[in-house]
Structure 1
Amino acid sequence: MTVTICKAEPQHLPEILAILIAGAAGARVGQESGDIDDYRKAFDAMLAAPEMDIYVALGPDGDVLGTYQIHFLKGLAFKGRSRVELESVHTRADMRGKGIGAQMMAHAEDLARKAGAGLMQLTSNKTRKDAHRFYDQLGYDQSHVGFKKML
């Protein structure tokens, strides 16, 4: 299935939230409100931030089938080349297995290459075994152990 991948716009927020809440794992389970007003300020700030973007994969009817957030990070490692971090990579549950996630990842990798990034990284909740297989199939190496602390 071919999708159109574009930067998220304010009208996409309800569908993005529905996908993110449905895909919640670990500490996020039961922590999301689903009330758009709880998220609008953060969403608007993210859209305005020059170092990041939110993308959506749109179906033929314009419905949001998937989403991801991309952050361009500066650093000294890798001879000072920037790196890209992906967050909240999710495909709507009823659309998984149709190649949408692979198209979003290819889109993100293309953006990273065009920006001169030397590395693309992401984290995935340890309970999301299907996601881990997906990233492995795309050539991602599970090279690090991650740590998080809720504040």
Structure 2
Amino acid sequence: MPDYSIRRARREDIGPIVRMLADDQLGATRDDPADLEPYLLAFDEIDADPHQLLVVVVSEDEPVGTLQLTIIPGLARRGALRGQIEAVRIHADHRGSGLGAELIRWAIEESRRRGCALVQLTSDTSRTGVHRFYERLGFVPSHTGFKLKL
């Protein structure tokens, strides 16, 4: 397995991140690597927020994986913090290498380090293979999610 490192994403990583987001059956319909401006604006907001952490997995100086971790304070569960994992992607050339599992484990540990009582994520209902992946990592399908497109 190649050497990997996980680090905070930088502005110059946005192109490779967006390409990974778009290289997906759902992302292909909603993400556009040809126009990075909205992603750069979003990156600036994410990067300035101490409750947000956008990371990349780097191999040979190239981003090959990414996720966003949001630390959510709340009143429920005695004021517990939650780690919300979003936008997990692994470059096609690195899928099946165990990198995705390592990235999720990293996010769990980072959530624990930041004092979170639980880690949660959502996944589109059509991604049944990914659901099995998360279950193998100990996640339990416990809720039904709803979205309203604005």
Q: Same fold (TM over 0.5)?
A: yes
- 1:121, 1:138 → 2: CA distance? 12
Q: CA deviation at 1:3?
A: 1.3
Higher relative contact order (CA 8 A, sep 6+): 1
Question: For residue 96 of structure 1, what is the aligned residue in structure 2?
Answer: 95
Root mean square deviation, CA, Å: 1.2
How does the TM-score come out when normalised to structure 2?
0.93
Fraction of identical pairs, as percent? 34
Question: For residue 40 of structure 2, what is the aligned residue in structure 1?
Answer: 40
Q: Write out aligned runs for 1:9-88 (5 A).
A: 9-25=10-26, 29-34=28-33, 35-59=35-59, 61-88=60-87
1:17-47 Cα deviation digits (max 9, x unpaired): 000011252xx54232221112111111111
Question: For residue 112 of structure 1, what is the aligned residue in structure 2?
Answer: 111
How does the TM-score come out when normalised to structure 1?
0.93
- 1:29, 1:21 → 2: CA distance? 4
Between Structure 1 and Structure 2, the one with more strand by share is 2
CA contact (8 A) 2:18 2:31 kept: no
Question: For residue 8 of structure 1, what is the aligned residue in structure 2?
Answer: 9
- 2:102, 2:51 → 1: CA distance? 22
CA contact (8 A) 2:9 2:54 kept: yes
Moved over 6 A (4+): none
Letter of the 1:14 partner, please give it: G
Q: CA deviation at 1:133?
A: 1.1
SS in 1 for 2:71: strand
